[in-house]
Structure 1
Amino acid sequence: MTVLTDQEVGSQYAELMLEIRSRLREIEMQLNISDISTAKRQQVFAAEYAYFQLRRITELVSMAILIAHNPTEEFRAGNLLKEWNPDTLLKLIGKLRPAAFPQRGIDGGDPSGERTFIAAPLVNTEARDRICKIYTTAADKLHVGAFKSFMRRKREYNFNDIQASWEYLVDLLDEHIIFLPDGRIAYTKLGYPDAESVEVKWITLPGEA
């Protein structure tokens, strides 16, 4: 894969995040439908549509991580670029670099609502594991399965699970950073739910210039 410039990385990353923001809005609308609709079929359709959006968002997050790390040669390796399953891809990325995942800021009581960020990468797998779980749960809910399983299966969906997954993704991604291998930080602000644009910028830490 071609090495992208900072401008190209930022543009493509922002485009993916803009799509993620739109899909998060779609989930929110389905959750609102679930609150007002008493029709069983409407509830099923709303849940399945929401799970589809959750699945697609996790796919887009995995692509965004690869885009952000494009300048690093290891992230342009063939096995990463060919992998289509987000669960497998995110685990491969985690083995390659545990700090590769989006990191949310800390609510510091700033009146403007801005978050503060610690100046060191987190190397735990919490974000990776949670995103993987959201993907596998959504994929399972959308999979009919074998006929025997289908005949025994009750089509019941847990909107609390959808709500929790949606809240986690909004909280994680609305204002986040990714620590890059070259010592810089990729800062992103989605502006959920309806800012005019997504903000992406590079920050160089003191002593890294």
Structure 2
Amino acid sequence: MTGLFITFEGGDGVGKTTQAALLQEWLEQQGRTVVRTREPGGTEVGVLIRDIVLHHRGEVAPRAEALLYAADRAHHVASVVRPALERGEVVIQDRYFDSSVAYQGAGRVLDADEVRGLSLWATGGLLPDATILLDLDHAAARARLDADDKPFDRLEAEEGAFHDRVREAFLALAAAEPERFVVVDAARDAGSIAAVIREFVAARLR
């Protein structure tokens, strides 16, 4: 593959959408073609799955939830991500399989290795070239979500212990793969965070 696959990870409310937009703008100024997408919901099929996993009013069994995310990921990679990479484009993606390992593995207390293996099977083993983890404690992230004055989705509405497990899992993933991850303090101002991310991505473009 000749493109570059960049993923943003972190808990809810850490600023992934803002930083993905800033990175896209910067890359396009460098003359790169950028595809910005998300999981779940980066395709028409994904929008339907997103509605189930995030907004379904009833209970969704943890294993069913993990399988739904994997199904979205399989279709998304096949129809959006791989074609863009093969065209030599930069893909900036809000969440990928690390989110499943953190949310369904640690958050839902499933086997993290099984969750990761499921995603790798679904995507044919596609790994990101670079992963940006925006790290913020749950209380600060929740305050940001409260300020947005929007209804919480199923995951955002989970108790603090759930989100603490998710954060710890993300940090453990980053520690295990330091060559792929950069961990950025999401409590910093947006401009400072963007500068760290640009430096990290520029090194991979070189």
Same-fold status (TM-score > 0.5)? no
Looking at both structures, which has the greater relative contact order when contacts are Cα pairs under 8 Å and sequence separation is at least 6?
A: 2
The structure that has the greater radius of gyration is 1
TM-score by length of 1: 0.28
